[in-house]
Structure 1
Amino acid sequence: MISRLTILISVAAVASGFPSDVSPCNGTSAELFPHPKECQLYYNCSITDSPRLMPGGQGVTECKYPLLYDETSETCMEEVNCGSRKLKKNACDYYNKKCDLPHCIPCHFLFPKCEGLADGTYPHPTKQPSPYCFVCNNERFVDEISCPDSVLTTQTPSTEI
């Protein structure tokens, strides 16, 4: 049984914004906690380690892009109030999209940036000339599709690669 002191310490650590390199997991609970600084991250205390590129110690877990961690439902969702936690809009800023091995395809070839773009469909900047387009919603990449004829005749947006 988890003691009240353990729960109180864990809750206090989350509320006070424990450092991002210190896990609130104490090794005996299977609780979930939001990461104090990044909206796509959370602590799953039932996990004893974390991927090597992930910051924050034991149990740090990342939602799949473009999902974010919701404190209330304790799940990864598309629409979340991040509060003071940083919202990463670019898929390539997610840790699970990073690869430092020589065989990796650069992330931006697969996930173009939508920051600064209006919601809509755009020709894929790294797959031209081709019928591929990408879809932006709330400045976040949400899909890659076959371009509608109306988009194929427009200019490629200037996105940073």
Structure 2
Amino acid sequence: MDNLRLLSASTIIFFTLLLLTKIRSQPLIDNVDQQRSNIYTDMEIDKMKTLLNDFEDRLEKMTLQVNTVQANKDSLYGNYVDLMRMYSMGETPEDETIDTICSKHPELIMKTSNDCHTYYNCSGEDTTLSAWIRLTQWIYIYNFWPSKYKHECLYPFVFSTKTLQCENYTDVDCGSRFLPTWECRYFRNQCKLSHCIPCDVRFPNCENKSDGLWPQPLRGFSPWYMICENNRTLTTGECPDDKEWKAPSFPYNGECVHLFVIPNDYDSNGLLPSCKEKVDGNYQYKERCDAFYKCENGTASAIKCPQNTIFDSVKRSCEVGGICS
């Protein structure tokens, strides 16, 4: 009986302590929960701030774009009004009349009548062009450019009548205006004075040439080539040496080839002999023994001997230890 009473008392004491522990720890738990809630709240606030900042940046960019579009629209409308007023008065913008017209219409921007890469801008000048104007009737220095109000785009840009500025030629409809495909059709690239490398040397001309690789016209027989596409020069370069033949390469028939492939009757520097009046067969190069040229139906082709063989002039084939006279 005493043991039962002792057990009951112990049980009561245990549950009492457990209850007291829970009562005392509850504020700590509540405090932790509150701190966790505060952290989540701060994170949500930071996230909202980031979203608001991103929205403000996008809104600022959109506002700038809208203002730019509106400014272009106002400019186009103003130019349209000026043009209508000018034409109603019988004024035609040409190189000879543009100075007078710009004095009356200082905001005017418009195309020139003939060329797609030039335009008139009455609001300013390009000093790289206006430097070539005859200054006055009495001061004569240069007379290469007609007016400070005449402008020229940079190659390959041309003037767009839609945007009233220079755009890539692929984005502009030139209509009947002349569309230049060569850098030297642009005044700014041309030589005006002596001691200037000619424009057609600096910018090889692909006008009226089919697409592909061509020799540069003014460099004579040289390794320098140009690649043409749609009458435009895409790139220029120098043919690399041929490592297998250990010989310099030159542009020929649309590719860079070594001298032993280029026919001598195409250029005197070529080292492939002619097969005219020769019977079909293999022939020795005068310049080397590790290769030969083959004549077939009057056409010559260059052939390199396999490694460790030379062209035997008697057997007329590549042989190990062959005799090459």
> 1:88 is matched with which residue: 167, 180, 205?
180
Aligned-residue Cα RMSD (Å) equals 3.2
2:256 partner letter: L
Instruction: Give the 3-state SS of the residue equivalent to 1:26 in structure 2.
Output: helix
Per the alignment, residue 54 of structure 1 pairs with 145
The correspondence for 1:29, drawn from 96, 106, 110, is: 106
- Contact residue 134 and residue 143 of structure 1 kept, 8 A: yes
The residue identity in structure 2 corresponding to 1:61 is: H
Q: 1:70 aligns with which of 134, 149, 160?
A: 160
Amino acid aligned to 1:18: P
Secondary structure in 1 matching 2:233: strand
Deviation at 1:51, TM superposition (A): 4.1
1:139 and 2:231 are equivalent in the alignment: yes
Q: Which residue does the alignment assign to 2:222?
A: 129
**Paired residue for 1:9?**
85
Q: 1:67 to 1:143 in 2, by over 3 A?
A: farther
Tell me the CA shift for residue 92 of structure 1: 1.7
Taking the aligned partners of 1:21 and 1:143, their CA distance within structure 2 comes to 38
Higher mean alpha-carbon deviation, 35-44 vs 119-128, is at 119-128
Which residue of the partner structure matches residue 44 of structure 1? 121
Structure with the larger RCO, 1 or 2 (CA within 8 Å, 6+ apart):
1
Structure 2 Cα separation of the partners of residues 137 and 147 of structure 1: 19
Q: Distance in 2 between the 1:63 and 1:17 partners?
A: 22
Cα offset, 1:151, TM superposition: 1.8
Residue from 11, 19, 29 that aligns with 2:94: 19
Q: Which has the larger radius of gyration?
A: 2
> TM-score with structure 2 length normalisation?
0.39
TM-score (structure 1 length as normaliser)? 0.72
More helix by share: 2
CA contact (8 A) 1:34 1:71 kept: yes
CA, structure 1 residues 48+139, in 2 after alignment: closer, same or farther (shift >3 Å)?
A: closer
Change (3 A) 1:27 1:135: farther
Residue 146 of structure 1: CA displacement?
Answer: 4.7
Deviation, structure 1 residue 61: 0.8
Structure 1 unmatched runs, 5+? 156-161
3-state DSSP of counterpart to 2:102: coil
Contact 2:82 2:105 in 1 (8 A): no
Equivalenced residue count is 149
The farther-off stretch of 145-154 and 70-79 is: 145-154
CA contact (8 A) 1:31 1:46 kept: yes
8 Å CA contact 1:109, 1:126 repeated in 2: yes
Q: Is the 8 A contact 1:123 1:152 kept in 2?
A: no
Report how far residue 37 of structure 1 moved. 1.2
| 1:152 alignment partner AA | C
CA distance in structure 1 between the partners assigned to 2:229 and 2:178 by the alignment? 18
